[in-house]
Amino acid sequence: MSRILTIWNILILTAVGAIAYYFYSNHQTLMGENEKLTAELVELESQWTQLRHEEGEIAFARQELAHVTKSTNSLRPEILDLGQAITEKQADIEFLEAKISSRFFEYRKQLRKEAKGMSFDEIKTPQGKMYYDVRIIEIRPDGISFGHGAEGTLGLAGLGLHEIPEEWIERFMYTEEELEWARGWTSSDGTETVHGKFKSYDEETGVVIILVGDRKRSLNIGDLSTANRDWLENKVKGGDAKGVANFALLDKQVIGSKIKKGVLSKLEGNYFYDFTMRNVPDYYVVYYSASW
């Protein structure tokens, strides 16, 4: 009998222990889940606070936007008036530019017409050829005709644009457009030069097309001088390549590199015109004033 009670007691104790362990394990699990839920709650509260803060910023931004929109709308009539005024001024500027250009060509046409009979003791071409006792016959867009020599030995001659002396280019107001026909295309070894206006360049084939009078001529970029290749490179990049072939040396001068384009003006009669150097000066005379 006592043995049966002992076994029964053991079973009861075992059951109680199992139940106690079960509740203990569940308690630990619940404690862990509670801590996790608490952490998630803290995180959610932080996110909620952040969202409230951002909501406030958005509301403020909307108020500022409404204020700016209101201010802009109030200024819109003034903006429209200002835009109209700018358009009118631009039209005035374009009209004046057209008028100045027209006057320039009228003045140049008259200047070249009156040059007939003008005499010079001597002239020297950029190629070094000398002419003496020169008398102008005709100034043309593509060159100049003249007589030269003493009475009884009078000769007739003509110079293309690439042969015109610098002083005549300035005096008879040859433009960049006209002088483009005089651009020199020199071989890489410097033994041959042809003069003509640039028409096109194919980067893939390396072929350059120029206009020589009414004819087209093809050149290979690999056969051209460094100056010509530099000019073409600038042209392909979309830069302003005017004068590069003639004035590459200006870049090596402290002053020349600063004034080679878009800085100088020339006074002709009562008007100033844009002027671009067409040779490389050996020296510059600088004038300045100062006070103390």
- CA neighbours within 13 Å on the CB side: how many for 247? 20
pLDDT value at residue 243: 44
Burial of 261 (0-12, 13-18, 19+ CB in 10 A): middle
pLDDT value at residue 237: 62
Burial of 118 (0-12, 13-18, 19+ CB in 10 A): middle
- The CATH topology of domain 176-292 is SH3 type barrels. (2.30.30)
The more confident residue out of 240 and 17 is 17
**Tokens at 60, concatenated:** 């403020």
Q: What is the DSSP letter of 237?
A: T
17 pLDDT higher than 80: no
Average pLDDT rounded to a whole number, residues 33-53: 82
Q: What is the mean pLDDT of the chain?
A: 79
| Rounded alpha-carbon distances, angstroms, from residue 9 to 14, 15, 160 | 8, 10, 133
Query: Residues with Cβ < 8 Å from 274, sequence gap 6 or more?
Result: 262, 264, 265, 266
Average pLDDT rounded to a whole number, residues 90-94: 86
Q: Which residue has the tokens 């100088």?
A: 264
pLDDT value at residue 113: 92
